Structures are given as C-alpha cells and as structure tokens.
Amino acid sequence: MAKVENISFAENFPISFKELEEEAEKVMGAGGFGYVQSGAGGEETLKKNIESFAKYSIVPRMLRDVSVPDISVNLFGKTYPYPVFLAPIGMQRLEHSEGELASARAAASFGIPFIQSTVSSYSIEEIANATGTSPKWFQLYWSNYEDAAFSMVRRAEESGYEAIVLTVDTVMMGWREADLRNNFSPLKLGYGKANYESDPVFMATLHDGDVVQGILDNIHHPTLSWEHIARLKEKTNLPILLKGILHPEDARLAVEKGIDGIIVSNHGGRQLDGVIAAIDALGPVVKEVKGRIPVLFDSGIRRGSDVVKALALGADAVCLGRPYVYGLAIGGQNGVEKVLANFIEETKVSLSLAGVGSLKEMASLKLLR
Ligand SMILES: Cc1cc2nc3c(=O)[nH]c(=O)nc-3n(C[C@H](O)[C@H](O)[C@H](O)COP(=O)(O)O)c2cc1C
Ligand SMILES: CCCCCCC(=O)C(=O)O
C-alpha cells in the first residue's frame, strides 16, 4: 500500500470500478464475465442501481475535528472495524482458482465478515479451516428439501459462523439474457458444487447421483414463505438476516416476525428487472424499521462516496458485490485486498470531508435529493 498525505491506497492496480471491470473482462472468459457483469431482462434495474446514487447529494459539515476517523460498526454484539462487508457471491472459482478461499482470506485480513454463498466452490468447513476465527456469515438458499437447508445452517453454526443470511429474492433464477445468449451456466460447468457435495443430507436427496440437477431442484423453491422462516428460526441460535427486502411492508413483517436484520438489495439487478433502485428503497425501509434491527445495504456500491450515501440514508453497513469479484479475477486474494483497501480509504476520506468523524455521528449528515 502507498501512503500519500495519510491516505493509503492500492498501488499498481485498477482504482475505479470502470477500470476494474475492464481488467476483469481481459482475464475472464466471455461466458464467465457475462455471467458476473450482466443483469436480468433489459438491465433497467442494473443501470438504475448506479445512476440513482447521483440523485443524492451530500451536504457536508465543517469544523468538526475529524483527525481520528473511527468507522467501526457494532452488529449483533460484535464490533467490525469497517462497515464494508463482502456480499455472498456464488461459484467464485469462476473468477480465480482459489475462489472463495481467496476472498474469505482477504476479508479476514481486514476483520470484516465474508458472507459465504450456499453455492460455493469450497465447503463451509474448508472456508472455516482456512480463515480461523475471522468473522464469517453464511448465506442460505432455501431448499425444497428443508432438512438440507437446516443441515447447512447447522454446519455453519458448528464452524463458528456468526450469522445466517437468507436470500429471499431468488426463489427461482432471474431472466438473464447474457447467459442465454452465451449458453452459459456455471453450475452446469461444475462451479459451486463443492458446498453441496459436502453436505450428507443434501446428497441423500439425490435420486440418480446427479448433483447439478439436485442443486437446481433444491434452489427452485417458489413456495418459500414466512412459515418457512419461522421454522428456520427454531433451528438456529444465530442471528438471521433477510437479504433482498425492498418494500417497507416486508421490512415491517420481518421485524414483527423476530428477524434480526435486513439487507436491502435487489441482487445487483440480476433477479427481477424493473424493480426500484436499491438505494431508493433504503430510506423508506429504514424509516419503517425505526432502528429496531440493523439494516444493511447492497446493489450498486461502486466507490467510497456511495458507501457514505448508503450510511447517511440509514444503512448500518454495506456489502460489496461485483467490485470485489473483479478484484478476485484480476489478482486473487491480493486483488480483493486492494479493492477493499481502496473502498475503505475512500470511505474514510469522504466521511472526514463530510465532517463525520465516527459512524455514531452519521445521523448529523444530511443528503439532498
Ligand atoms: C456473479 C454473482 C453471483 C452472485 N451470487 C449470489 C449468491 O450466491 N447468493 C446471494 O444471495 N447473492 C448473490 N449475488 C448477489 C450479491 O450478493 C449482491 O446482492 C449483488 O452483487 C450486489 O450488486 P452489485 O454487485 O452490483 O453491487 C451474486 C451476484 C453476482 C454478481
Ligand atoms: C442455480 C445456481 C444458482 C446460483 C445463484 C447465484 C446467484 O445468486 C446469482 O445471482 O447468480
């Protein structure tokens, strides 16, 4: 890392999102890059996620001594040094041979949660063994074979994971034209099987030994409802977050049903095209939740000033998606660390220039729309 006027940043590495994307495209195959980069349908939401950040302007405060920035955040009784986490991204061997191991190690080096996808190229236990006691959360895709979902939750709990993130916006895959055009399915190419293959309960659900078909059958779960969530709550003592909430009414229901946290997200525009930009959904959800449970955010974070806007709108923390997997594609663990370093440093600089020395003062920051 270079140090210039107290700012450390990643040297000799793409800095902006545009540069990251361009470099990742050079090292990834067309099918893989298309899978990561694209959105659902006509990509209206994918575009809106980015453009909508520009509608919010920071109204900075001055003369407030920001010499010792503290951007640590406390969630579910644990303190994390930065409010920037790694979103669950499936099948990361698509980007790099070390896949999730590299990303989880990078998150560990910053002390921030790595949210492991159900559809991982490494098992829960492999990631846990590689990263010791560093914070890890497990993202659950519900399963038509409920016991397989519970089995993964139990394994995560036994492996020291700190939270369960149930993704509720993917009861079936979105309509993804790039993948149709490229005839590309990472799952069919064998990516993302390892975590399923390591689960004896899932393996027992297979009729003919076809793991890929078994995963597809498991992941297509259109019956998912609040009743399933009540059963999940009975199976774990870990905090449960729902990922993919956009409607304030769903946020209210989540609070009423005893859910521990929400991630406002539209899955990076990969599920239902035409839905509200995630950043526009954040304020109304925060207003409905009224501080009763933490609200996290993802979908469209491309730089530190975006992190600041999400925090100012009431997010407790944000999750990076595409930026870090592009870093992974370009440079493995080191690449993810460089992306994280840039995001964290730009966030610190932006908050300081906005007159916010600590996240506890965040409420004093106003956004104009
Ligand atoms: C290639 C790719 C794979 C993803 N896999 C998962 C997944 O397995 N589980 C999940 O909950 N979300 C998944 N997501 C969604 C991310 O967690 C996150 O919501 C999204 O990337 C945020 O949008 P952004 O990357 O544009 O900021 C995936 C996203 C991408 C780009
Ligand atoms: C059938 C495999 C599903 C993987 C889903 C990964 C994901 O969430 C994505 O957006 O892609």
41-81 pLDDT, tens digit per residue, is: 999 999 999 999 999 999 999 999 999 999 999 999 999 99
> In angstroms, how far is the first alpha carbon of the chain from the final one?
36
- Distance CA(5)–CA(348), nearest Å, equals 13
At residue 10 the predicted structure's pLDDT band, cuts being 50, 70 and 90, is: confident
Ligand 1 close to Cβ of residue 93 (< 6 A): no
Token digits for 148?
């397989």
Angstrom distances, CA of residue 120 to CA of 36, 62, 98, 152, 186? 15, 45, 11, 12, 11
Token digits for 52?
């909508």
Decide if pLDDT at 6 tops 60.
Answer: no
Ligand 1 close to Cβ of residue 221 (< 6 A): no
Q: In the predicted model, what is the mean pLDDT of residues 282-311?
A: 98
Residue 71, SS3? Answer: coil
| Span from the CA of 90 to the centroid of ligand 2 (angstroms) | 6
β 261-264/240-245 pair status: parallel
> How much of the chain, in percent, has pLDDT values that exceed 70?
98
State which ligand 1 atom lies nearest to the alpha carbon of 267: 19
∠ at Cα 275 (295, 100), nearest 5°? 60
Q: For residue 312, which of 128, 53, 45 has the smallest C-alpha distance?
A: 53
The 10s digit of each residue's pLDDT in 179-218 is: 999 999 999 999 999 999 999 999 999 989 999 999 998 8
State which ligand 1 atom lies nearest to the alpha carbon of 266: 19
| Span from the CA of 208 to the centroid of ligand 1 (angstroms) | 30
- Distance CA(307)–CA(348), nearest Å, equals 10
| Span from the CA of 299 to the centroid of ligand 1 (angstroms) | 8
The DSSP output letter for 358 is B
* Locus of tokens 């109204």: 59
Task: Pick the residue whose CA is nearest to atom 5 on ligand 2.
Answer: 90
Would you give the distance in Å from CA 270 to the centre of its chain? 13
Angstrom distances, CA of residue 320 to CA of 57, 79, 235, 273? 21, 19, 29, 20
Report yes or no on whether pTM surpasses 0.80. Answer: yes
Decide if pLDDT at 113 tops 50.
Answer: yes
* Locus of tokens 């925060």: 286
- Distance CA(242)–CA(220), nearest Å, equals 18
What local confidence, expressed as pLDDT, does residue 11 receive?
A: 74
- Distance CA(177)–CA(184), nearest Å, equals 10
Angstrom distances, CA of residue 248 to CA of 21, 280, 282? 33, 12, 9
Q: What are phi and psi of 185, to 5 degrees?
A: -135, 105
What local confidence, expressed as pLDDT, does residue 12 receive?
A: 84
Task: Pick the residue whose CA is nearest to atom 21 on ligand 1.
Answer: 321
Compute the mean pLDDT over every residue in the chain, rounded to the nearest whole number: 96
State which ligand 2 atom lies nearest to the alpha carbon of 267: 10
Q: In the predicted model, what is the mean pLDDT of residues 156-163?
A: 98
Of 137, 172, 270, 320, best ligand 1 pocket probe by most atoms within 8 Å of the beta carbon: 270
Decide if pLDDT at 2 tops 50.
Answer: no
Instruction: Show the ligand 2 pocket: residues with CB < 6 angstroms.
Output: 90, 119, 170, 173, 187, 215-216, 219, 267, 270
Give every CB contact of residue 322 below 8 A, 6+ residues apart in sequence.
17, 21, 36, 37, 268
> How much of the chain, in percent, has pLDDT values that exceed 90?
95
Token digits for 308?
């600041």
What local confidence, expressed as pLDDT, does residue 218 receive?
A: 87
What local confidence, expressed as pLDDT, does residue 239 receive?
A: 99
Residue 103 exposed, middle or buried by CB count within 10 Å (0-12, 13-18, 19+) = buried
What local confidence, expressed as pLDDT, does residue 219 receive?
A: 86
The 10s digit of each residue's pLDDT in 214-236 is: 999 888 999 999 999 999 999 99
Ligand 1 close to Cβ of residue 243 (< 6 A): yes
- Distance CA(143)–CA(232), nearest Å, equals 12
At residue 349 the predicted structure's pLDDT band, cuts being 50, 70 and 90, is: very high
Ligand 1 close to Cβ of residue 192 (< 6 A): no
Give every CB contact of residue 119 below 8 A, 6+ residues apart in sequence.
90, 91, 141, 187, 192, 195, 196, 215, 219
What local confidence, expressed as pLDDT, does residue 183 receive?
A: 98
| Span from the CA of 92 to the centroid of ligand 2 (angstroms) | 11
Domains and CATH numbers, the chain: 2-368 (3.20.20.70)
| Strands, E assignment, 48-133 | 57-59, 73-75, 78-80, 84-86, 114-116
Decide if pLDDT at 244 tops 50.
Answer: yes
What local confidence, expressed as pLDDT, does residue 284 receive?
A: 98
* Locus of tokens 């900075």: 60
ipTM over 0.85: yes
| Span from the CA of 351 to the centroid of ligand 1 (angstroms) | 26
At residue 5 the predicted structure's pLDDT band, cuts being 50, 70 and 90, is: low
Residues annotated catalytic, as ranges: 267
Angstrom distances, CA of residue 279 to CA of 31, 55, 88, 359? 29, 10, 19, 19
Higher pLDDT, 354 or 208: 354
Residue 335 exposed, middle or buried by CB count within 10 Å (0-12, 13-18, 19+) = buried
What local confidence, expressed as pLDDT, does residue 7 receive?
A: 55
